[in-house]
Amino acid sequence: MPGKGEHKLSPRRVAAAQKQAQAVQLRAAGLTLDQIAEAVGYNSRPAVHQAIKAALKKRIADSVDELRAVENERLDLAMRSIVGKVQQGDLDAVREWRALIETRARLNGLNKQVDLPIGAVNMLQIEYVDAIGAPAAEPDWIEGKATERAPAELEATA
**What span, in angstroms and rounded, lies between the C-alpha atoms of 120 and 32?**
51
Residue 80: per-residue pLDDT: 96
Residue 150: per-residue pLDDT: 47
> How many CA atoms are closer than 13 Å to the CA of 35, on its beta-carbon side?
9
Residue 110: per-residue pLDDT: 85
Residue 135: per-residue pLDDT: 52
CA distances from 123 to 76, 138, 150, 151 (A): 37, 12, 17, 17
Residue 122: per-residue pLDDT: 56
Residue 154: per-residue pLDDT: 47
Q: What is the pLDDT along the chain (158 residues), one digit of tens a residue?
A: 445 677 878 888 888 889 998 998 998 889 999 999 999 999 999 999 999 998 888 887 787 888 889 899 999 999 999 999 999 999 999 999 999 999 999 888 888 776 666 655 555 555 555 555 555 455 555 454 545 544 454 455 54
Q: Specify whether the CB–CB gap between 23 and 55 falls below 8 A.
A: yes
**What span, in angstroms and rounded, lies between the C-alpha atoms of 61 and 53?**
12
Residue 121: per-residue pLDDT: 54
Cβ atoms within 10 Å, residue 105: 12
Q: What does the H/E/C string look like for the chain? A: CCCCCCCCCCHHHHHHHHHHHHHHHHHHCCCCHHHHHHHHCCCCHHHHHHHHHHHHHHHHHHHHHHHHHHHHHHHHHHHHHHHHHHHCCCHHHHHHHHHHHHHHHHHCCCCCCCCCCHHHHHHHHHHHHHHHCCCCCEEEEECCEEEEECHHHHHHHC
Strand partners, 145: 142
Going by C-alpha positions, the residue among 68, 76, 78, 73 that lies closest to residue 106 is 68
- pTM comes to 0.49
